[in-house]
Structure 1
Amino acid sequence: MRTKTDRAFLYFTVPIVILIAISSITGIWHQEIYAKETADWLSQCVGQDISNLFLVVPALTLSAFFASRGIRSARIIWIGTMITNIYSYVIYCFSVHFNFLFHVYCIILGLSLYSVIYFFFHYMKEDYKSWYTEKVPVKATGIFLLVIAGIFLLLWLSQSLPAAIARTVPETIIKDGLFTNPVHALDYSFYLPLMFISAVMLLKRKTLGYLLAPMMIVFAIITNFNIISLMFVTMKKTSVDSTPMIAVFGTLTIICLGFLLLMQKEIVKLSEK
């Protein structure tokens, strides 16, 4: 059995990683572009830039290379990273004050979005269930995703729901100088429901669940790394001690990575074309 090569993975990825590298390097070493942000939000922007440069760029580059050659595990990592990219650059485009990188942010967001559309348009009908052996930990992975989605839902609700009921604004939004919390908006409306759907589809052994579940684990790994990165920067720039939360998210990242490796290990190896 042979897999098809697809150079579109490279065509989408090369301009994206170049632009991410440029914008991230600029944000890290010329932080005056975030001069209009509050100290806390500036720290989060720089932390995100660090994560983009040292995790997202290598992950996209390597996964695109191997995905273009038909490697199944690489395609899962690629689509998971692209989904995360959309998340990050929606925030850059809509929740960072206008600066000279605005158009770069928009191009990265657009290319990431269309790359995901391309992927699902061309590979939606793939039999992802047949990618795996019967040893893949379906039940454990599905339950894990449900737990992760539930934890984050309760965590975000604990911040936003009391304020909504009391007709006030959450302290985190005031501290960051924002109109709303973009993370809450994206998670409530799209990412947490998608994680829940992915878990249910996997538990029911639906073929698409075998793609969506590991894809959302990749999303969780990168998102956790982003959070850890911005917490380190926040600690350096402010008096906030985030060590306990860094330990929590570090542990969660390791667990997510373990589940991803367990699933990837059970992917049937096919020869390249």
Structure 2
Amino acid sequence: MLPNHNLPYQKTLTALVILVALMAIIATSAGIFSDEGGGPYPYTSIRGNVVTIYGKGLYKDMSAEVAPQGIAQDYITLFLAVPLLLFSLLLARKGSLRGRYLLAGTLGYFLVTYLFYTAMGMYNSLFIGYVILLGLSFYAFLITLLSFEVHQLPTAFSPSTPLKATGGFLILNSVAIGLLWLSVVLPPLLNGTIVPVQVEHYTTLIVQGFDLGLLLPAGFITAVLFIRKKQLGYLLCPVYFVFLSILMTALTAKVVAMALLGYSVIPVIFIIPTFNVITIICTITILKHLNTSVSIYSGSASWADQTVKL
């Protein structure tokens, strides 16, 4: 019998990824196709603000502005992220390092998406499903990251890899989004109203909080490490770019959905798609600069002296 040169913990990771895909298909389909309910109605929040509630489907208790954005993201998750997840798993199982980066980044997207759905979305019948997706994607993401032999990754990239250009853009993106969110949070603190109108009838600003506290600093730090040619940067920055490419595509879909509903989306209708395209270009560029092959030793006897194909 030939030795196994594929992913470590391959069976476990494959099972986790397939479960993520199946659960995501169920969750997104429910979000997209459910339509029961009487439709929009006004609701006065605990703060005295009148919020229009969506009133239909799985997201019926969310605001009329946020619910369509969730549905738009469900489309991206179902028709882009799920196929990419399964495709990247197939590549990774065949020994592709590009596939492994794609897998890690796509799992990162599922992890962040269902972290937000669990924490932000109004409680609905799929809460347990979101919790399961959060757990499955977290452990699959962790296993995938640990499958890389970090100290050998710098040799996997071509010397001509545009570290400064791609890393610089990621820094710009992190700073720009950070300033955008601070423009939402700080003015109410300064004028004494405290609570931004964007809170609507929710408990707090979940997206802005997680972005400012976790995701944007992560992007900034990984970009700096990548530019400085640090081993950890070679691991995390390509993964972050894959994750960000899918997330920015979802954000673009959200903006388009709001535009179709008649909301004012200028200037974000120009800014978000532009950042989205640049992010995808950076991701493709980085992955194309991987060498044709790199020998990776995991420290595990089951796949020592492994040659990972690209």
Normalised to the residue count of structure 2, the TM-score between the two structures is 0.81
- Contact map agreement 2:150 2:231 (CA 8 A) in 1: no
Report the Cα distance in structure 2 between the residues aligned to 1:126 and 1:265, rounded to whole angstroms.
20
Which residue of structure 2 lines up, in the alignment, with residue 190 of structure 1?
214
Aligned to 1:100: 125
Highest RCO, 1 vs 2 (Cα 8 Å, sep ≥ 6)? 1
How large is the Cα RMSD of the aligned pairs?
2.0
Equivalent in the alignment of 1:252: 275
SS of residue paired to 2:260: helix
Question: How far apart in 2 are the matches of 1:10 and 1:232?
Answer: 34
- Distance (whole Å) between structure 1 residues aligned to residue 270 and residue 172 of structure 2: 19
Matches within 5 A, 1:209-220: 209-220=233-244
Structure-2 residue corresponding to 1:49: 74
Which one has a larger percent strand, Structure 1 or Structure 2?
2
Which deviations, in whole Å up to 9, do the C-alpha atoms of 1:157-210 show, x marking residues without a partner? 111112233342112222xx2121211111111111111110111111111111
Tell me if the contact between 2:100 and 2:144 (Cα under 8 Å) persists in the aligned partners.
Answer: no
Distance 1:243 1:166, change over 3 A: closer
**Where do 1:234-273 residues align within 5 Å?**
234-237=258-261, 239-242=262-265, 244-270=267-293
Are residues 1:140 and 2:165 paired? Answer: yes
Distance (whole Å) between structure 2 residues aligned to residue 232 and residue 143 of structure 1: 27
Q: Give the gaps of 5 or more residues in structure 2.
A: 36-56, 294-306
Q: Could you tell me how far apart the structure 2 residues matched to 1:229 and 1:182 are?
A: 20
| Cα distance between partner residues in 2 of 1:224 and 1:18 | 23
Distance across 1 between alignment mates of 2:244 and 2:169: 11
Identity, in percent, stands at 27
CA change 1:245–1:162 in 2 (3 A) is: same
State the SS of the aligned residue for 1:263.
helix
> Is the alpha carbon distance of 1:4 and 1:162 closer, same or farther for their aligned partners in structure 2, counting shifts above 3 Å?
farther
Determine the C-alpha separation between the residues in 2 that align with 1:200 and 1:272.
27
The runs of at least 4 aligned residues of structure 1 exceeding 6 Å deviation read none
User: How many Å separate the matches in 1 of 2:24 and 2:172?
Assistant: 32
The answer to whether the Cα contact below 8 Å between 1:231 and 1:246 also exists between their aligned partners in 2 is yes
Indicate conservation of the 8 Å contact 1:195/1:213, yes or no: yes
Q: Distance in 2 between matches of 1:202 and 1:194?
A: 12
Stretch deviating more after TM superposition (101-110 or 213-222)? 213-222
Structure 1, residues 63-106: CA drift from partner, whole Å, max 9, x if none? 11101222111111111111121111111111112211111111
Shift of 1:125: 3.7
More helix by share: 1
> For residue 179 of structure 1, what is the aligned residue in structure 2?
203
Q: How many residues align?
A: 269
Deviates more, 1:104-113 or 1:215-224: 215-224
User: Partners in 2 of 1:196 and 1:244 — Cα distance?
Assistant: 24
Question: What is the Cα deviation at residue 110 of structure 1?
Answer: 0.3
Counterpart position of 1:164: 189
In structure 1, the gaps of 5 or more residues are: none
Please tell me whether Structure 1 or Structure 2 has the larger radius of gyration of its CA atoms.
2
Contact 1:9–1:67 at 8 Å: present in 2 too?
no
Equivalents in 2 of 1:184, 1:124: separation in Å?
A: 33
* Separation of aligned partners in 2, 1:268 and 1:250: 30
Q: What amino acid is the match of 1:157?
A: L
